[in-house]
Structure 1
Amino acid sequence: MRIATWNVNSINARLETVVRWFEEARPDVACLQEIKCVDEKFPAEPFERLGYNLAVHGQKTYNGVAILSKFPLDDVRRGLPVHPDHGGDGDDHARYVEAVVSGPRPVRVASIYLPNGNPIATEKFGYKLAWMGRLQAHAHSLLELEEPMALLGDYNVIPEPRDAEYPTNWTHDALFQRETREAFRTLKWMGFSDAYLEANGAPGAYTFWDYQAGAWQRNNGIRIDHALLSPQAADILRGVSIHREVRSWEKPSDHVPLIIELEA
């Protein structure tokens, strides 16, 4: 089973590019982020024509996540639970959708668009850390199910200096703050594995290049799109690929797709 994650940076603005990639890559499951539309405005028809079932959690103009699957989607959850220590009551950001992909080997999958958190001297950084706390709490409860599970998406976290071409450029950015990286490591200490590190781990495997200052041309990239696997999913991991070439296509997203392959 090939499961992809991709921040498309507006599904309707880049529909032709996204559909082209789906036609060429043919993932079994795809987790999309930053779809930037309400559920009713998601362009379902071209994906349904390709054989995909959809679970969409959208929001007008901002955020928005979706799961597209060639297998039925069950037990769909939209949004993270409220947590007494990390809040969430009244949080209307569409950043999380989860479902069980009912394939030959069922896999629980989540599409995650973690808050950016900049500027760090504002409430936006506090919201990022609180959201990560809610994710940790929910992920811990999911681990108790002891099932294959993949939490994929744009985490807006640069885990280590090796995950940036120019680490010093990110010293004062929310993506690279000590608290951000510690919160990400907490997920791994709970029992999740970083699929890319498990399968390859070579530095320079970036998934994002900013539109500004010739970042793509200078390879000023960062690795912020991740797939975290439960132990049961890590045991059946067969490979990871990053579709770097998509960043050079016409009207690209600033992110590129990442695909994990699990034994079916």
Structure 2
Amino acid sequence: MKIASWNVNSLNVRLPHLQEWLKLRQPDVVGLQETKLEDHKFPDDALLELGYRSVFSGQKTYNGVALLSRESASEVQIGIPGFGDDQKRVIAASYGDLRVVNLYVVNGKAVGDEKYDYKLGWLDAVHGWLSEEIKRWPKLVVMGDFNIAPDDRDVHDPAAWDEQILCSTAERNALQRLLALGLHDSFRLHSEEGGQFSWWDYRAAGFRRNLGLRIDLALISDALKPTCIGSVIDREPRTWERPSDHAPVWVELA
């Protein structure tokens, strides 16, 4: 079973890319972030033609998340339960006994900014929610654009990014708290190598020079760890015309 995550940075712009990629890679479940579409504009009919059912939560211009799947989703959750927030950043659904949570984590703007404080509070709310989800759903995947590079291997220039947004100690500690719930970074189950990134700035030829960060993650629970047979960063769509600044990532479960 292939479960993928992709920050498409505007589904309106990137729909042809998504359609092509779905045909090429044939994932079973896909979490999208930054769809930037109100719900009535979501292209669910176009995706259904490719065999994918959709559940989604969107808004104009910003944010927006969706889950695409070959089988129907059940027990769909939109937003973090009990957390008052009108930003469309969270969607979860079940597929049989598998629970999939798709997150578009707050960026935070800059260390010390009020948006940074909001990010840390948001992550704390996610932690509280997932601590209950993993009890109910032992087979849990938590994926998305985390806007956190887990450690210095995931940063093209650790010195330049030291204590900067996406790489600060507090953000990394918040991610480690999530992992401590019984989750594992699937990519690191198969590779200890540094210099493998999922996001590259459009500026300064970031992709061509591989000046990136690994901030798109697929975390899997203890119950799924023995079944994890691969985890991939798919760089190919980043080479296409008018690409998202993020590459898709996926985890494959036996």
Class of the TM-score when normalised by the shorter of the 2 chains? over 0.9
**Rounded Cα–Cα distance in structure 2 between residues aligned with 1:167 and 1:45:** 43
After TM superposition, the structure 1 = structure 2 runs for residues 1-264 of structure 1, keeping only pairs within 5 Å, are 1-82=1-82, 88-89=83-84, 91-102=85-96, 106-263=97-254
Paired amino acid for 1:35: T
Deviation at 1:119, TM superposition (A): 2.1
Paired amino acid for 2:24: E
Report if the CA contact (8 A) 2:98-2:137 is conserved: no
**Rounded Cα–Cα distance in structure 2 between residues aligned with 1:179 and 1:258:** 25
Q: CA RMSD in A?
A: 1.1
Paired amino acid for 2:112: A
Deviates more, 1:195-204 or 1:65-74: 195-204
Report if the CA contact (8 A) 2:153-2:193 is conserved: no
Matched-pair identity in %: 38
Deviation at 1:121, TM superposition (A): 2.6
Please give the per-residue CA displacement for 1:109-149, whole angstroms capped at 9, x wherever unaligned: 01110000012232100110001001100110012125211
**Rounded Cα–Cα distance in structure 1 between residues aligned with 2:170 and 2:48:** 41
Report if the CA contact (8 A) 1:56-1:66 is conserved: yes
Report if the CA contact (8 A) 2:163-2:169 is conserved: no
Please give the per-residue CA displacement for 1:177-205, whole angstroms capped at 9, x wherever unaligned: 11000000111112111100112232122
TM-score by length of 2: 0.97
Paired amino acid for 1:223: R
Report if the CA contact (8 A) 2:196-2:214 is conserved: yes
Partner SS, residue 244 of structure 2: coil
TM-score by length of 1: 0.93
Seen in structure 2, the aligned counterparts of structure 1 residues 141 and 120 have a Cα distance that, compared at 3 Å, is same
Match of 1:85 in 2: none
Report if the CA contact (8 A) 1:33-1:63 is conserved: yes
**Rounded Cα–Cα distance in structure 2 between residues aligned with 1:186 and 1:117:** 18
Paired amino acid for 1:201: E
Report if the CA contact (8 A) 1:32-1:67 is conserved: yes
**Rounded Cα–Cα distance in structure 2 between residues aligned with 1:118 and 1:146:** 33
Paired amino acid for 1:80: I
Deviation at 1:253, TM superposition (A): 0.3
Q: Unpaired segments of 5 or more residues in structure 2?
A: none
**Rounded Cα–Cα distance in structure 2 between residues aligned with 1:67 and 1:199:** 25
Paired amino acid for 2:9: N
Q: Unpaired segments of 5 or more residues in structure 1?
A: 83-87
Partner SS, residue 106 of structure 2: coil
**Rounded Cα–Cα distance in structure 1 between residues aligned with 2:240 and 2:65:** 22
